[in-house]
Amino acid sequence: MAAENVKSFFIAIDPARHRDQLILPRQFTNRYPDLLGSCVILRDLGGRLWHIEVIRSEDRIILTTGWSDFFSHHSLMFGYMVIFEYRGASTFLTSILDHSACEIHMGDPGGSSSTSQPLPSFQITMSAPRFCHRCIFVPGTFASTNLPRFVNDVQIHDAAGRVWQIGVDSRANGVVRRFARGWAEFYTTKNIRPGDTCVFSLINGDVPAFNVFKVAVGGGEQTML
């Protein structure tokens, strides 16, 4: 699907705010105010359809009745990322990323089992010569395999739902060389330090978008920034 035809948004889950209802992002609803009816359908990657009631309050669009069932069935936890891709007729295809940036698939429409499929990613330890607070170098193999050539910028979707625009510098052949403009602000705001190891997980390749995870000291647990 061409990037310009994709209507999508991302939600970083906080159970305290999202267990019973979900307010859709203003950036999406302001751009497409008449897109949705009084009910939406969420299709998960197991093929199950979830019918969710929609209410409008002032300028907000809120998923209500039926959302808590979707939330519970998929065992959504703090820091999980739910991606909504609009497919027409008030229907969204949903996918879910867990704390390790793996995409969760329900085993069947009844949800009896689940597996995870890793997303394309690369890992960087913030130390010389591959670290600078002003830029981060992207491994050439990853960039040439997973990123479009001659792009001007990429996005980072953080745990709070903010989208960061990061300018890129490319090689002569168009392969992305490093993340530059905007990286310093992300680095400082997220309190990244020399010696930290971060995983950059690609969640959308047409318009490149990443989640960034900090790896705990000693490895293992990852926290989305």
Type and span of the H or E element at 123: strand 121-125
The span from the CA of 108 to the CA of 176, in Å, is 38
Confidence of residue 158 (pLDDT cuts 50, 70, 90): confident
d(CA 180, CA 202): 17
Overall average pLDDT of the 181-207 stretch: 86
β pairing state of 153-157 and 163-170: antiparallel
To the nearest whole number, what is the mean pLDDT of the chain?
82
pTM for the whole thing? 0.55
- Overall average pLDDT of the 88-101 stretch: 83
Evaluated on CA atoms 179, 184, 189, 190, the torsion sign reads: positive
38-42, 69-73, 197-201, 205-209: the lowest-pLDDT one: 205-209
Tell which residue, 185, 183, 184, has the closest CA to residue 210: 183
Nearest to 107 by CA among 59, 69, 74: 74
Q: Which residue has the higher pLDDT, 118 or 61?
A: 61
DSSP-derived secondary structure letter, 5: G
Give pLDDT tens digits for 115-155.
Answer: 445 678 888 888 765 556 788 899 999 999 989 899 999 99
Mean pLDDT of 168-180: 93
